[in-house]
Homo-oligomer: A and B are copies of this chain.
């Protein structure tokens, strides 16, 4: 169990040591948001939250905890949908997800809520630096979270923060097998890598990090914010 102030980079390096996996150039290390948030102290005690009248009204309407709803509203830049007891919100960096990413599971205990990391790209960069320092090789690091999505049942792991790789593989302009130019093909490799890691990060299994070895990504100094779809191409605001 990770707590505020824990050295996540150091713990991941220790795990790579102990498992003898080490690190090789081009490895991708996916780390779940929850341990990042806890290590960085992104925790709130519900008893210290004062709900606004709006949060109290919602709580009454939906039979929820007004303090938790207040925290959700505090993390939201825009409410995308508010219906049937669900609150889909856009967070500061542009992530659209349930409850603006505020979550009570796997937190420090009853009465605590966990917020998304303040700057998940920076969190990823710190872990990457710790791996580079220990092994002298360059890896990529993803900070991932489990999001729902419209139209499809179930949650999948997606990328919230990254360091060292390009999140999008742009194939536009390349030719398909028949020589026809691809017009729309930009692959969200960071989300596909996150999803692959998600298969091994089961919620009750205490697996907070996954090593992906052998995938040839495009190294880059980039930000996960490139995965945020801008308003101009968003048909679902």
Contacts and interface: CB of A to CB of B under 8 A. Distances in A.
A158 interface: yes
The A contact surface, by secondary structure, is loop
Nearest to A88: B235
Contacts of A229: 150-153
Given A152-B158, A153-B229, A171-B204, A187 B198 contact: yes
Contacts of A63: none
A178 B226 contact: no
B192 A199 contact: yes
A203 B191 contact: no
A206 B177 contact: yes
Contact of A176 (B105, B152, B177, B215): B105
B188 A96 contact: no
Q: How many copies does the complex hold?
A: 2
A151 B96 contact: yes
A156 interface: yes
Contact of A104 (B180, B191, B227): B180
A233 to B, nearest CB: 7
A51 to B, nearest CB: 21
Contacts of A204: 171, 174-177, 182
Contacts of A152: 96, 158, 188, 191, 227-229
Given A149-B149, A151-B234, A152-B228, 8 more contacts: A109-B178, A110-B178, A149-B150, A154-B187, A177-B206, A185-B203, A196-B196, A236-B236
